[in-house]
Amino acid sequence: MFATEPTRKAKIRAALLAFVIASQMFLALPMPHRVSESDLRKPEAKEELGRWMSLIHSIGIDWTRDEVKTGVIEWTHWITDNHKGLSKPIKPLRRYLGIGQSWALFAAPDTHPNRLQVEARIDGEWKMVFRRVDPEHRMMNTQISFRRVRGVHDGVSNKPGKIYHALCEFIARGVFEQMPQADAIRVQMYRHHKTAPHKPTDDTVVLRHTVNVRRKDVME
């Protein structure tokens, strides 16, 4: 029992808060992505499937590899379709209020992470000014590592879009302001291959998505 009856405003506020909390809890459920045949053909997926087959057989369940693959595909399609359908009514509110979690947070390990590197050209020579997770090259580290900026270069696709190029220009302006002697900057992504602990290390590094920005193109 309340000492005093809550006001109408308090009841409305409580109802809105309850709705937001409940909807966010639903949206935050760890949903799997829609698994396809091509997903299961990836080396890391084959290895993971092999571990699950060993576990399933160890407890006396006699499922074949094809049965498990079919079950994974059908189950992930069913659960993602239902989650999407149930969250559809609140989608306009999510867009209007800017709430919601639209990506899977650490849903699976990234076996091919990218590492951002920035170089500045001074008197014709390139000098490294930033490299991710490098304590000796940290120019603009606060801006580049900011969570809303990090998502641009962390999740860059095989064909980076306008937002990646906009990030490169943003970085270039920041570097040019701090280094008046630099006449160009170069942004590059280095893709590394991270293997499982029980596997041999792979030192292969692939250079990707090089963007050159000249001072005269972005600075007035």
Kindly state whether residues 25 and 119 are assigned to the same domain: no
Report the DSSP pairing between strands 184-193 and 114-122.
antiparallel
Q: Which of 19-23, 110-114, 184-188 is predicted most confidently? A: 184-188
Q: How confident is the model at residue 50 (pLDDT cuts 50, 70, 90)?
A: confident
- Are 91 and 125 members of one domain? no
Tell whether 71 and 43 lie within a shared domain. yes
CA dihedral 124, 127, 132, 137 (to 10 degrees): -160
For position 94, what pLDDT does the model report?
A: 77
Domain boundary among 97, 126, 146: 97
Q: Is residue 203 part of a domain?
A: yes
Both 214 and 119 in one domain: the answer is: yes
The verdict on 92 and 15 lying in the same domain is: yes
List the alpha helices (DSSP H) in 32-161.
37-40, 43-58, 65-87, 91-97, 141-144, 147-154
105 falls in which pLDDT band (50, 70, 90)?
low
For the segment 127-171, what is each residue's pLDDT rounded down to a tens digit? 999 999 999 999 999 999 998 888 788 766 677 888 899 999 999
What is residue 166's predicted lDDT score, i.e. its pLDDT?
Answer: 93
3-state secondary structure of 91: helix
pTM summary value: 0.63
Mean pLDDT of 54-73: 91
Q: Calculate the alpha carbon distances from 143 to 28, 51, 69, 139 in Å.
A: 27, 41, 43, 9
What is the reported pLDDT for 134? 93
Residues 136 and 49 in one domain: no
pLDDT of residue 190: 93
Domain of 42 in residue numbering reads as: 8-97
Question: Average per-residue pLDDT in the chain?
Answer: 87
Q: Are residues 159 and 83 in the same domain?
A: no
